[in-house]
Structure 1
């Protein structure tokens, strides 16, 4: 998925088994953020940063949706533990990760494995990708501020 591409209409199902579609967010920009794993330190820091700035995000016309490959049960725990006000898509079959090109080989501590690259897509009101924050760009402690800076620069 690149800037200018149209995002898929059906994004997946959330922690409650509810189908999430682009059309559910008419008139809003979507912050679709992919993260590696529920309840890990970086992912929790990022989710809490978005939570702490959620009110300002909604004021600015953004909807926030998280995506990882964990199941609905894991997402429910993560949401409850961190009081997250936005849905998390359970992409257990990795279809959305693969459609957005954020799943692949990773290396950590000399080990190679398959996983999700922390990536955020800003999707405009027409369902078109207008910004991509890559793993090297994302600062988990100030991710909302990065999104606001992008919005202000437009």
Structure 2
């Protein structure tokens, strides 16, 4: 497995999505992909992040980018999350966390002294050739979608 670093090929994936579809990195080849990993549907930070990416959806499209959110939740949970908040991004179900692991965001977390495995909030910008152009780790939600959009526009 290649290291997750800018300039390296992004690990391919093929995941079930909301609405009964599928999304794969190879299927999106030729366009820029914003792949953002988040811990759980319908939690405060994750909801704010999804709403922020949705709000900039037309700008991402105009810049030639597809936005895909990935969490360990099921596609059925993604459907409910999208409907509840009127989200306009693709939500992919990484129920086995293989994709999160491939991108290095399935990590040990620590809350109130209790250790557990979970998704580190992170975003990867992948160029049209499937190479990683930018990485944001341990993302803080406020202003993040705007920063990612700026990076997408700078890729041209």
Query: TM-score, normalised on structure 2?
Result: 0.90
Greater displacement, 77-86 / 143-152: 143-152
Question: Quick check: 1:82 aligned with 2:85?
Answer: yes
Partner Cα separation in structure 2 for residue 151 and residue 89 of structure 1: 21
Equivalence for 1:145: 146
Q: Which of 81, 98, 104 matches 1:101?
A: 104
Unaligned runs of 5+ in 1: none
Question: Quick check: 1:45 aligned with 2:13?
Answer: no
| TM-align CA RMSD | 1.6
Q: Name the count of aligned residue pairs.
A: 152
Partner Cα separation in structure 2 for residue 79 and residue 15 of structure 1: 8
Greater displacement, 144-153 / 38-47: 144-153
Q: Which of 1, 6, 16 matches 1:3?
A: 6
**SS of 2:143's equivalent?**
helix
The structural deviation recorded for 1:144 is 1.6
The structural deviation recorded for 1:53 is 0.8
Partner Cα separation in structure 2 for residue 42 and residue 79 of structure 1: 15
Partner Cα separation in structure 2 for residue 113 and residue 86 of structure 1: 28
Equivalence for 1:91: 94
Equivalence for 1:68: 71
**SS of 2:68's equivalent?**
strand
Partner Cα separation in structure 1 for residue 150 and residue 61 of structure 2: 15
Partner Cα separation in structure 2 for residue 54 and residue 40 of structure 1: 21
Query: TM-score, normalised on structure 1?
Result: 0.91
Aligned CA distance change for structure 1 residues 153 and 24 (closer, same or farther; 3 Å):
closer
Unaligned runs of 5+ in 2: none
